[in-house]
Amino acid sequence: EDKVVQSPLSLVVHEGDTVTLNCSYEVTNFRSLLWYKQEKKAPTFLFMLTSSGIEKKSGRLSSILDKKELFSILNITATQTGDSAVYLCAVDVKAAGNKLTFGGGTRVLVKP
């Protein structure tokens, strides 16, 4: 059974701090790993990672994938209160009929 595990479950930081979120996976026929940010409503797409060692960046957010060790990290630097959200990691596998397997999410609270 495909499995995606995120850690930590939650964390509280202050504005300006850097956070690192972890996502490990055990799946067969890996195709890609995706990160989403979920605030009050539906998840919004952040990154898609398919190759090891290539960092994807978008502003203060960055992510990288390690296909050998089967994990990905999402970094947020100089955090702001608007970064408070649940961050979801999902894995796309080739035989799953376009389904994504989601991790449990990491809840981030950024305090002023």
> Which residues of this chain interact with other proteins, rule CB under 8 A?
31-32, 34, 36, 41-45, 48, 50, 88, 90, 92, 97-100, 102-105, 107
How many other CB atoms are found less than 10 A from the CB of residue 9? 9
Nearest approach, Cβ of residue 48 and other proteins (Å) = 6
In the complex, what is the shortest distance from the CB of residue 29 to other proteins, in angstroms, rounded to a whole number?
12
In sequence order, what are the residues at sequence separation of 6 or more whose Cβ sits closer than 8 angstroms to the Cβ of residue 69? none
Smallest distance, other proteins to C-beta of residue 78, A: 27
For other proteins, the closer of residues 43 and 83 by Cβ is: 43
Residue with tokens 């790993």: 33
Question: What is the four-CA torsion angle of 44, 48, 53, 1, rounded to 10 degrees?
Answer: 100
CB of 33 to other proteins, least distance (A): 10
For other proteins, the closer CB: 40 or 68? 40
Q: Which is nearer to other proteins, 30 or 71 (CB)?
A: 30
The answer to whether 44 and 36 have CB atoms below 8 angstroms apart is yes
Residues 20, 73 contacting (CB under 8 angstroms)? yes
